[in-house]
Amino acid sequence: MGSHDPLDTRPWAEVYGLYHFHEGNPSFLEQLARTREQAKALLKGLDVLEFLAEARLESSLSQVARATGLTKTTSHRILGVLESRGYVERTSAHGGYRLALSQRAGAC
């Protein structure tokens, strides 16, 4: 197995990933890539939630996309997930969104 050289300046994931790849576990690199994508998606969702928290009023899909720097498609997908989980609610037939005043707020 070998020990990790504390003077090795490569990122930990690179060292660990290369070791496991050579040990016959190529799926580790795939898992690492998937974890990074999930983290990126989470950050985008948090950006949407933070914008809605600061806005305090109904915000349109266009406003959410513009404020977060996301595309309308990505914003719509994220808002749909947040709505299905009870974090966001639609406020009008015209597609406005705001933070949901739900049980989730008191669950923390």
- The secondary structure of the chain in percent helix, strand, coil, rounded to multiples of 5, reads 60, 5, 30
- Mean pLDDT along residues 34-56: 93
Cβ neighbours for 12, distance < 8 A, ≥ 6 positions apart = none
pLDDT greater at residue 39 or residue 20:
39
Task: Tell me the C-alpha distance between 39 and 74, whole Å.
Answer: 15
- pLDDT attached to residue 104: 54
CB distance 91 to 97 below 8 Å: yes
The conformation of residue 57, written as its DSSP 8-state character, comes to S
Give the pTM.
Answer: 0.67
Please tell me the class of the 12-107 domain.
mainly alpha
Q: What is the pLDDT of residues 47-92, one digit of tens each?
A: 999 999 999 889 999 999 999 999 999 999 999 999 999 999 998 7
